[in-house]
Chains A and B, each alone.
Chain A
Amino acid sequence: MATTKPKKSSFIQGAITSDFIGNAIAKHQSKTTIGAHNIFLGQVRADVIDGKTVVAIEYSAYEEMAEQTFYEIREAAFTKYELSCLHIYHSLGTVKTGEICLFVFVSAPRRKVVYEALEFLVEEIKEKTAVFGKEIMEDESYTWKENS
């Protein structure tokens, strides 16, 4: 039997709460080499599609593959930028409009690198991660979301 700790999952069931985000920030107070954090929060938008308004997105994923992709994106960011740490969290299941579905958090000793690293991470996540979104309308019909 493997005794190594299982890799931490990037997926969270349901919306990412402001408590969770606040706690993630607080956990970094002991890391005093950090001088700058940057945070991206993806929020579910109430798009209007064919006259119907989106009320929620139900996220699903090819989880094993997506976790591996998150890992590779994380490694690529650490190679490319001088970061102290970084965290990626993505929702699975239902997230209502106005709620947070993606939380990317980068930290570094100095500020310049965190702007670039965050953009790199978010774009890579959107392009490469096997996550799927069912946009649920007010009348309970749905359509499959596609990243533009």
Chain B
Amino acid sequence: MIINIKYFGLLADITKKKEEQMVLDESNFSVAFLKSKMESAYQELQNTNYSVAVNQAMVGMDTNIKDQDVIAFLPPFAGG
């Protein structure tokens, strides 16, 4: 399945990209699984505080990710 991942703020600095598309063999997996996959690809993420949104909604670690979902890795908010 194909998913789109967006990175913001510090996380875009770490990954050196604003977004990427990933093709995965797995067809059903959780945010926690994706997180561990990304943290081995970008090791600096391991020491970084961030949250995850799926299709623009903040989600917990056990949320399932589906084909074509848009995942965002969000550092702490700093508005205002």
Question: Assuming the A-B contacts A62-B53, A65-B53, A130-B53, are A147 and B9 also in contact, with contact meaning beta carbons closer than 8 angstroms in the complex?
Answer: no
Check if B9 sits within 8 Å of A64, measured CB to CB. Answer: no
| Contact of B27 with A by CB under 8 A | no
Interface size band for A:
20 to 34
Task: A131 to B10: give the CA distance in the assembly, Å.
Answer: 12
| Contact of A56 with B by CB under 8 A | no
Binds B, one of A24-32, A46-54, A110-118, A121-129: A121-129
In the assembled complex, which residues on chain A have CB atoms less than 8 Å from the CB atom of B77?
126-132, 147
Task: A78 to B74: give the CA distance in the assembly, Å.
Answer: 28
| Contact of B76 with A by CB under 8 A | yes
Give the most central of B13, B53, B77: most A CB within 10 Å: B77
Q: Which residues of A contact B (CB under 8 A)?
A: 42, 57, 59-62, 64-66, 68, 90, 101-102, 122, 125-134, 144-147
